Amino acid sequence: MKKQNFLHELFSEKKIQVVNPSVDLAESYLKKSKSHLASAKLLRDHDHYEEAVSMAYYSMYHAVMALFFRTGIKCENHSAAILLLKDVYSIDNTPISKAKKERIDKQYYVDTMSTKEDVDELITEAGHFIAHLEDAIERLTNEKIGSYHNRLRLLVE
Domains defined along the chain, listed by start: 2-156 (1.20.120.330)
- pLDDT confidence of residue 1: 57
- pLDDT confidence of residue 12: 94
Secondary structure letter of residue 139 according to DSSP: T
Q: Is the pTM of this model over 0.85?
A: yes
Per-residue pLDDT in tens (0 to 9) along the chain, 157 residues: 587 799 999 999 999 999 999 999 999 999 999 999 999 999 999 999 999 999 999 999 999 999 999 999 999 999 999 999 999 999 999 999 999 998 887 777 777 788 899 999 999 999 999 999 999 999 999 999 999 999 999 999 8
Sign of CA dihedral 139, 148, 33, 114: negative
79-87 contact pairs (CB < 8 A, 24+): 79/6, 80/6, 80/7, 80/10, 80/15, 80/16, 83/3, 83/6, 83/7, 84/7, 84/16, 84/152, 84/155, 87/3, 87/151, 87/155
Helix (H) or strand (E) holding 93: none
Amino acid at 142: N
